[in-house]
Chain A
Amino acid sequence: MPETLKDTETTKDGTAAVPGPTAATMAASTKPEKARSLWSDAWHDLRRNPLFVASAILITILVVMAAFPQLFTGADPRYADLANHYLQKPNWSHVFKEDWFGYDVQGRSIYARVIHGARNSILVALVVTALVTVIGTATGMIAGYFGGLIDTLLSRVTDIFFAVPFTLGAMVVLTSFEERSVWVVILALAFLGWTQIARVARGSVLTIKQADYVMAAKALGASTSRILLRHILPNAIAPVIVVATISLGGYIGSEATLSFLGIGLAEPAVSWGVDISSGQEQLRNAAFVLIIPSIMVSITVLAFIMLGDAVRNALDPKLR
């Protein structure tokens, strides 16, 4: 199949990439300098992908919601008025009003709570993803590039962390802290979460390090750190970005799951997970108390998965 072959070659010619400022934001950290590389090609594809546009818009709204909840609601998520007890059902016609989604068991506005809950959920997911990406990429790159004993050691350590079940590990970390702040939840999720990225990064580096431009850089006497950071990293990062985007959605789900199990964030923190966990007790007579924050979690996870999918398709030359 000559077509596929040609495509693969163009992408592997690998000169450090680069598109306009918008593409740079989307492609996370890569700052390219020359046009029509893998990244500019990908950006070209992405702008025309309705899935990408839809998820990008959704994510922008969610991030704005997390940063400035006051823009969406004037109601206080912690203000409880027992007169507004949860038997008062949602008022679907009162769009953007305090009683749009009804009230929870303590008479707090569910609408205000889901808006304000975005901050903790998204903060946890973003910081965890940033942490695991840095730890995972560093581990994977060092293991893949240096090989030999270093590779064996780092890969075994990765295997060890990978073998411990994720939710269980996070639960054990969480139970050992008296106070479960956002930072403790972040620590618990990042502790076992970096292994997948490490494996992906290692695999990616293993293929890249054979490339001619790496040999050329070595022959020209470039230092190891320069080869790693300027030549290997920009070219090996694409699969890492895809996995990171998709797992960002996953961490939103994990935060909610831990809260559901009663060991994540706890009141008075406002987060979707906290609301879901308190909503399950009213499931039979007021299902909306649980369903509305669940929908917010699902939409957010969906947005990040769609974004990751779109980026993967754009970066994967085989699918062109």
Chain B
Amino acid sequence: MGRYVIRRLLQMIPVFIGATLLIFLMVNVMGDPIAGLCGDRQCDPATEAQLRGDFGLDKPVWQQYLTYMGHVFSGDFGTAFNGQKVIDLMATAFPITIRLTIVAIVFEIIVGIVFGVVTGLRRGRPVDTSVLLLTLVVIAVPTFVTGLLAQLLLGVTWHVIEPSVSSAAPFGELILPGLVLASVSLAYVTRLTRSSIAENVRSDYVRTAVAKGLPRHRVITRHLLRNSLIPVITFIGTDIGALMGGAIVTERIFNIHGVGFQLYQGILRQNTQTVVGFVTVLVIVFLVANLLVDLLYAVLDPRIRYA
């Protein structure tokens, strides 16, 4: 187990370096960070040279990358072009997005798995068909449409919730945005659980469990569900990273000042330090979540051993 974890951590290093280098190159090579700094006008050459020197942009790209990564590992994510420390932006943005992601994941796990189990056990019945159609519709309608309509109806027309989230963003205000953020993944979790359950319900071990007289709920939770959860856990694990990065749309609709908001501003203003810094952290979250998922496999299925 310990050796497996170490091997996986070592494997993560090239992916981490590659992904951060990729985003660093995309931001630096494809756009000119100085271009946006003087408003819509061109910077005068002296100012431009001064700025390039200050931000280290006159050095070759690989050198910029190495310097940047060196700083990151000593906890310095650099300074955004407007003078704010990127680490300060992160300190306010990440807690909000983490809360939003937690709400979304809780919805996925509870609602998604319950729906999946219920429909998987009743394949072909009306409940199954209607939930299945519902998931199709949820997947088909883009998140921003769901979000805008939910905000318009619940927030503006019926006044059930505040249409805009306050800057503190407590859990209570994040319930609707979290549901909107989770909606598409929720539908996928339902469908995955459903097909996995439907496949395993015919298996020998379930028949054995039923035959030896176990109560139905025990057969379902202990035997059927536990064996059916592996693909679902895999999906939810990769989704954590996607949700945090994909919250751009949801955060924009509900005016939440989290990671998505900062990234959106950073990308539009070509603020290299902000974008690369936030994406670096997102990549780490993504990699760690995937590692945790792999370790969870062994808990769910004891046949899987990590030597």
Q: Does B111 contact A (CB under 8 A)?
A: no
Within 8 A of B (CB), among A259-306: 260-261, 263, 276, 280, 283-284, 287, 290-291, 294, 297-299, 301-302, 305-306
Which residues in B have their C-beta under 8 angstroms from that of A1?
A: 202
Q: Does B85 contact A (CB under 8 A)?
A: no
| Interface range on chain B (Cβ under 8 Å from partner) | 35 or more
1/0 per residue, CB under 8 A from A, across B245-265: the answer is 110110010000000000110
Interface size on A, residues (CB 8 A): 42
Which residues in B have their C-beta under 8 angstroms from that of A306?
A: 136
Stretch of B22-30, B62-70, B214-222 lying at the A interface: B22-30
Q: Are A164 and B22 in contact (CB under 8 A)?
A: yes
Contact of B15 (CB < 8 Å), options: A156, A297, A301, A318: A156
Q: Are A294 and B136 in contact (CB under 8 A)?
A: no
Which residues in A have their C-beta under 8 angstroms from that of B23?
A: 164, 169, 172
Q: Are B270 and A175 in contact (CB under 8 A)?
A: yes
Which residues in B have their C-beta under 8 angstroms from that of A261?
A: 248-249, 252, 264
Q: Does B116 contact A (CB under 8 A)?
A: no
Q: Is the interface of B mostly helix, strand, loop or mixed?
A: helix
Q: Are B136 and A305 in contact (CB under 8 A)?
A: yes
Q: Are A176 and B31 in contact (CB under 8 A)?
A: yes
- Shortest beta-carbon distance from A63 to chain B in Å: 18
1/0 per residue, CB under 8 A from B, across A139-169: the answer is 0000000000000000011011101111111
Stretch of A8-16, A34-42, A106-114, A249-257 lying at the B interface: A249-257
- Shortest beta-carbon distance from B158 to chain A in Å: 14
Q: How many A-B residue pairs have CB under 8 A?
A: 125
- Shortest beta-carbon distance from B159 to chain A in Å: 14
1/0 per residue, CB under 8 A from A, across B108-128: the answer is 000000000000000000000
Which residues in B have their C-beta under 8 angstroms from that of A257?
A: 142-144, 249
Rounded to whole angstroms, the CA-CA distance of A284 and B151 in the bound complex is: 10
1/0 per residue, CB under 8 A from B, across A119-144: the answer is 00000000000000000000000000
With contact pairs A160-B18, A299-B140 given, residues A168 and B268 touching in the complex (Cβ less than 8 Å): no
1/0 per residue, CB under 8 A from A, across B17-47: the answer is 0110011001100110000000000000000
Q: Which residue of A lies closest to B18 (CB)?
A: A160
Which residues in A have their C-beta under 8 angstroms from that of B245?
A: 165-168
With contact pairs A165-B245, A173-B30 given, residues A160 and B142 touching in the complex (Cβ less than 8 Å): no
Q: Are B145 and A301 in contact (CB under 8 A)?
A: no
Q: Are A167 and B248 in contact (CB under 8 A)?
A: yes
Rounded to whole angstroms, the CA-CA distance of A34 and B42 in the bound complex is: 66
23 chain-A/chain-B pairs, Cβ below 8 angstroms: A156-B14, A156-B18, A159-B15, A160-B19, A163-B15, A163-B283, A163-B286, A163-B287, A164-B19, A164-B22, A164-B23, A165-B245, A165-B282, A168-B245, A171-B248, A175-B30, A260-B249, A261-B249, A261-B264, A298-B137, A302-B140, A305-B136, A309-B136
Contact surface of A with B, Cβ cutoff 8 Å: 1, 156-157, 159-161, 163-169, 171-173, 175-176, 249, 253, 256-257, 260-261, 263, 276, 280, 283-284, 287, 290-291, 294, 297-299, 301-302, 305-306, 309, 318
